Structures are given as C-alpha cells and as structure tokens.
C-alpha cells in the first residue's frame, strides 16, 4: 500500500461497535498520546480500557479504517499559519513543480503522455521550527534522540509536507531527448531519438495545485544537427517498435521538476508495484516502527527484491515498470529517490492531494489501476504488493474480473508469515475462483525466483498455497506458530490501538502548533 493501512471496516463495526458509522467525525484528541506512550506492555488490559472509553466521538477515520498516518497533511493556509509566514513572503519564493515520471500510450494521433504532478512553494523553514514540526510525527521519541542522519531525514520529510500548493497555475512542460538510461536496469528502455517540444497543459492546476492530463506529442526531431552534420531522428511509432522510448520532461520555471516520460508500446508486459513492505521495509502495521522507517531511517530494500527486479528487467523483453503507491504526493520525491537508486527505472503514481479525504483515500488505488489498464488495453499486467493493504486485497483480484485476460500474475508477500508484529487482518475472499496459476502468496523474496511471468506460471510450486477465502491473520486461527490466539473482540481493540497511536499529530496544525 502506501502509507495508509486499512481496517476491514465492516468487520470492525460489526464486532466492536455493533453498527457501521461512516460519517466523518473529529479525530481523537491529544490525550490519546499519553495513552499510546504507555506502550504495549500491559497490552490486553490497555486495549480493553481503551475500547471501553471509546464513545460516540470515536473518529470515523478509525471506523472507516484509514489511520491518521500520512493522512490529513496540512495544506495552504494551515501551512502558512504553522510556519508563521504571510502571503507576501510566500510570493517571493520560487515556484516548484513535482513532476511524476509519466507513461504514454500509442494512439491514432501519436504518443499520448499522461503528465501529472503538483505545483507548490517551499517555504524556507529554519531548523528549530522543522524540529518542532518533525516531533509531531514521531511516537515515543523525539528528534533530539535520533542519529544525525535520521534527524536530517525527518527534517527533509517534514519540509516536504509543509509546502504551499499553488492553484490556477498554467504549467508548460518541456520534452527533451537525452535520458541517462542505465543498461539492464531500465526494463528495455531506449532513448527517444526525437520529440523535443514545449507544451502548455490544457488546464491550470486544481485548488490543491495538482495537474493530471494526457497530451499528444508532436513528432518533432530530437537534434537538428550533430557533429556529422545531419538530423538526429524522430520518435518511433508505437506500432513499429517493441522498445520503450524515454524522453526527459521538465516544467518551465522550476529547477527541480525533472522527470522522464516512458513511451510504452501497446503490447508487452507491465508490472505495477506497490512499495511499502514489498520493495522497502516499512512495517506499517507496527505504527511506531512505521513512522521511524518513514520519517527517520534511510529507506531500506526488503530482502533481495532489488536483485529479483534487476533479473526481471534484464530477462523479460521490454518490461515496463510502473510504481503505484498510495503514499501521499508530498513525500513522492523520497520514494522516487529510493526506487531509482535501487530498482529499475519506470513511471510513477502516488496519491494526489485531491484524494485526501477518507472515501477518496479508499478508492485511489483502484482509480489509478483502472487508468493504467485502460491506457494499455492490450498489455498484460503483473501486480505486486503485500497482504497488509486492504485496498490491494480487494482491488488486485477485482482487476482479474474487470479486465479479462489483462492480469498475467498477482504476487502478494504474506507479511503475517514473517513479521510477528503484524496484527492486521486481511481478506482473501476476492481470490476465490481465480486460477491458482495466476497468483501466489509468498513468504520470502526468493520465492519469486522460480516463477515464469511470460509463460503465465505465476505460482512457484515450492511455495505452499493454503489460502482459505476469508479473513486471515492473527485472531483467525491461522496465525504463525507460537502467536497468541486472538478473539475478535481483542483483535478489534488491537486495531483501534494501532490507529489511535497516530492520533497525536493530527490536531497539531489545526491547533496552530
């Protein structure tokens, strides 16, 4: 998933609260912080007392299953007031563009690129202020207790969150040849030989500073002259190449908005990758660890996934890598920075700001999956994630039903199998009726070595599949050996505990921290 893990809302409501209550109510109060800091030692009695104390004012964020983790980031005026800056100070700052690596499909009109990102201003926030703001994101620790490199990371992420989005801005995107393509690390990507041009997007940015639109590239040349004196070439049509062509793209007037556009032919294989707890260690299901792994520690790959991916990139012809995480847009740069140092180059999707309310957060993954499937109706997709995302558990098998023949493989890391700290239940019922050759729940990255993606044999027979199509996880009688057996009441309490640990930082900017 991205950094929001979802509870099975109906299960929660039925077993714990007795009734569903989808309305949005205020988030839990700051008092929850003291409770959470008591730690997990006296866990059972704590969970019980917590449950008893939950009145009708329990946040519906908890009820709907979206933790306040990376939820409700401050925007606009709230950033200005938190940082104590005014409009004139803001006006003096340069405009920046977050430009996400794009994919393009081949159409009758030419290459059709999906340009998406965000326009914002980055206030110059001093270190002491950033420290104060960063502390809000840390549970049971504070920035002065971290290593210097961890402090930098925490300040960096905090600075990225406290930006002011710019609405109603016209964005001009420049496309230029000359991408630095790494051999064998880019999934069959070649440099486009042409396509230099500047295009102003048809719509200005949204209220949240976002832009997301398809534009048609003109078939221009790349280089007008070179040392041998003649032209450098043109874009290849999508129906005459199987290679993925790469073009630089950067926004006018922004020094840091550089990205790459991938022109992806109509047929071939695309892998859609979730990031947290599959390509990197996040442990989102352990809130304190999840926050440290996101806000303080350097991003670390999970097991030998980089080697598995490098191998796929080198052996599967013209494999298109697409990274799709529901982590909020504001922290995209840190994800891209890690991914492109560690995994094959590819296009990217994160959660845009106008998808930040609860129901939209729950639907964003499906929205982004539908978009890429519809853009490449003839390509076959490999879907990669882990079991700790309830949206993945629902959406991935649904893609098999909604787009017959387009899902080649689904791979899900079983996080419960390796992490005793994972208390999140997950629902496998969506997989009922899907051919077992098409999917695999796996335990270690090495389990992926013997799968045959191109041949459609996605289940490595050495990995036992004992999937029952219902809720799984601790408390459902199928926990890893040695684990406590939970009853649904306890489970519900544990999940609320996990959720309220996120509560402390939510109201902070609302209170003008």
Ligand X SMILES: *[C@@H]1O[C@H](CO)[C@@H](O)[C@H](O)[C@H]1NC(C)=O
Total of chain residues touching ligand X, rule CB under 6 A? 64
296 contributes a contact to ligand X by CB under 6 A: no
Nearest distance in Å: CB 246, ligand X: 13
Determine phi and psi for 146, rounding to 5 degrees: -95, 160
Q: How many residues does the chain have?
A: 513
Among 89, 95, 191, 334, binds ligand X (CB under 6 A): 334
248/228 Cα distance (integer angstroms): 24
421 contributes a contact to ligand X by CB under 6 A: no
Nearest distance in Å: CB 475, ligand X: 12
Name which of residues 438 to 497 contact ligand X (CB under 6 A): 441, 464-467, 472, 478, 480
Name which of residues 119 to 148 contact ligand X (CB under 6 A): 126, 128-129
The secondary structure of 19-43 as a DSSP string is S---S--PPPPTHHHHHHHT-STTH
395/399 Cα distance (integer angstroms): 6
Element (H, E) at 492: helix 488-500
Among 72, 80, 150, 160, binds ligand X (CB under 6 A): 160
56 contributes a contact to ligand X by CB under 6 A: no
Give whichever of 53 and 107 is closer to ligand X, judged by the CB atom.
107
Give whichever of 252 and 363 is closer to ligand X, judged by the CB atom.
252
Determine phi and psi for 262, rounding to 5 degrees: -110, 120
Q: Quick one: three-class SS letters along 446-490?
A: HHHCCCECCCCECCCCCCCCCCCCCEECCCCCCCCCCCCCCCHHH
Give whichever of 59 and 347 is closer to ligand X, judged by the CB atom.
347
156 contributes a contact to ligand X by CB under 6 A: yes
Determine phi and psi for 499, rounding to 5 degrees: -70, -45
Among 26, 84, 317, 433, binds ligand X (CB under 6 A): 84
Give whichever of 25 and 429 is closer to ligand X, judged by the CB atom.
429
105/238 Cα distance (integer angstroms): 8
Give whichever of 39 and 84 is closer to ligand X, judged by the CB atom.
84
Name which of residues 103 to 122 contact ligand X (CB under 6 A): 105, 107-108, 110, 112
375 contributes a contact to ligand X by CB under 6 A: yes
95/291 Cα distance (integer angstroms): 29
**What is the C-alpha radius of gyration for the chain, rounded to an integer number of angstroms?**
23
| Interacting span for ligand X (CB under 6 A) from 39-47, 135-143, 174-182, 497-505 | 174-182
370/355 Cα distance (integer angstroms): 15
Among 53, 198, 242, 359, binds ligand X (CB under 6 A): 198
| Interacting span for ligand X (CB under 6 A) from 37-45, 59-67, 213-221, 294-302 | 213-221
Secondary structure class of 359 (helix, strand, coil): helix
Q: Quick one: three-class SS letters along 129-168?
A: HHHHHHHCCCCCCCHHHCCHHHHHHHHHHHHHHCCEECCC
Nearest distance in Å: CB 139, ligand X: 22
149 contributes a contact to ligand X by CB under 6 A: no
Q: Look-up: residue for tokens 């051919």? A: 435
337 contributes a contact to ligand X by CB under 6 A: yes
Nearest distance in Å: CB 209, ligand X: 13
All residues at 6 or more sequence positions from 120 whose CB lies less than 8 Å from its CB, including other chains: 95, 96, 97, 98, 163, 164, 165, 166, 209
The two structure tokens encoding residue 21: 């209550």
| Interacting span for ligand X (CB under 6 A) from 56-64, 86-94, 214-222, 393-401 | 214-222
Give whichever of 96 and 501 is closer to ligand X, judged by the CB atom.
96
Secondary structure class of 346 (helix, strand, coil): coil
Nearest distance in Å: CB 501, ligand X: 24
DSSP secondary structure code for residue 49 in this structure: H
Give whichever of 108 and 144 is closer to ligand X, judged by the CB atom.
108
Give whichever of 230 and 359 is closer to ligand X, judged by the CB atom.
230
Give whichever of 129 and 288 is closer to ligand X, judged by the CB atom.
129
Tell me the per-residue interface mask from 221 to 260 with ligand X, x by CB under 6 A, - otherwise: xxxx-x-x-xxx-xx-x-xx-------x-x-x--xx-x--
286/420 Cα distance (integer angstroms): 10
**β strands within 347-418, DSSP E:** 347-351, 380-386, 407-413
448/437 Cα distance (integer angstroms): 13
**β strands within 100-224, DSSP E:** 102-107, 110-121, 164-165, 172-176, 189-191, 197-200, 210-216
Among 395, 414, 423, 474, binds ligand X (CB under 6 A): 414
Nearest distance in Å: CB 105, ligand X: 4
Nearest distance in Å: CB 389, ligand X: 13
Of 381, 386, 185, 146, the C-alpha closest to 280 is 386
Distance of CA 188 to the CA centre of its chain: 24
Secondary structure class of 360 (helix, strand, coil): helix
- Which residues make up the interface to ligand X (CB under 6 A)? 83-84, 105, 107-108, 110, 112, 126, 128-129, 156, 159-160, 168, 170, 172, 174, 176-178, 196, 198, 200, 204, 214, 219, 221-224, 226, 228, 230-232, 234-235, 237, 239-240, 248, 250, 252, 255-256, 258, 333-334, 337, 374-375, 377, 414, 416-417, 428, 441, 464-467, 472, 478, 480
């Amino acid at each position: 998933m991205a950094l929001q893990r979802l509870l099975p809302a109906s299960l929660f409501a039925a077993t714990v609260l007795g009734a569903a209550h989808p309305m949005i109510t205020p988030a839990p109060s700051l008092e929850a912080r003291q409770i959470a800091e008591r730690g997990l030692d006296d866990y059972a009695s704590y969970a019980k007392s917590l449950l008893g104390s939950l009145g009708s004012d329990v946040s519906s964020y908890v009820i709907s299953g979206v933790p306040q983790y990376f939820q409700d980031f401050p925007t606009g005026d709230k950033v200005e007031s938190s940082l104590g800056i005014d409009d004139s100070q803001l006006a003096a700052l340069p405009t920046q563009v977050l430009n996400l690596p794009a994919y393009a499909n081949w159409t009758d009109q030419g290459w059709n690129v999906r340009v998406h990102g965000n326009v914002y201003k980055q206030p110059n926030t001093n270190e002491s202020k950033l420290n104060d703001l960063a502390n809000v994101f840390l549970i049971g620790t504070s920035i002065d207790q971290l290593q210097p490199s961890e402090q930098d990371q925490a300040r960096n992420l905090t600075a990225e969150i406290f930006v002011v989005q710019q609405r109603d801005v016209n964005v001009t995107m420049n496309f230029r040849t000359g991408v630095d393509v790494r051999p064998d690390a880019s999934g069959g990507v070649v440099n486009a030989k042409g396509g230099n041009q500047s295009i102003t997007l048809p719509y200005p940015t949204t209220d949240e500073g976002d832009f997301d639109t398809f534009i048609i590239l003109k078939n221009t040349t790349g280089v007008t002259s070179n040392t041998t004196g003649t032209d450098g070439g043109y874009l290849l049509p999508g129906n005459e190449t199987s290679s993925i062509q790469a073009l630089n793209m950067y926004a006018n007037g922004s020094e840091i908005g550089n990205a790459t556009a991938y022109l992806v032919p109509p047929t071939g294989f695309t892998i859609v990758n979730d990031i947290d707890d599959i390509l990197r260690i996040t442990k989102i299901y352990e809130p304190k660890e999840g926050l440290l792994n996101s806000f303080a520690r350097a991003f670390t790959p999970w097991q030998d996934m980089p080697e598995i991916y490098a191998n796929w990139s080198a052996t599967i012809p013209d494999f298109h890598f697409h990274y799709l995480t529901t982590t909020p847009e504001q922290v995209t740069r840190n994800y891209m920075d890690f991914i492109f140092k560690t995994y094959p180059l590819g296009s990217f999707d994160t959660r845009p700001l106008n998808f930040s309310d609860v129901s939209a957060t729950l639907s964003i993954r499906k929205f982004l999956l539908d978009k890429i499937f519809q853009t490449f109706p003839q390509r076959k997709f490999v879907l990669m994630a882990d079991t700790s995302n309830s949206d993945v558990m629902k959406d991935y098998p649904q893609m098999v039903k909604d787009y017959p023949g387009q899902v080649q493989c689904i791979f899900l890391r079983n996080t419960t199998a390796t992490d005793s700290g994972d208390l999140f239940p997950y629902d496998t019922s969506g997989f009922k009726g899907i051919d077992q050759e098409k999917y695999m729940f796996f335990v270690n990255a090495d389990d992926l070595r013997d799968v045959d993606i191109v041949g459609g044999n996605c289940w490595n027979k050495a990995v036992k599949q004992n999937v029952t199509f219902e809720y799984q996880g601790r408390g459902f009688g199928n926990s890893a050996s040695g684990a406590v057996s939970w009853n649904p009441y306890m489970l519900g309490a544990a999940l609320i505990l996990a959720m309220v640990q996120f509560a402390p930082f939510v109201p902070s900017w609302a209170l003008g921290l």
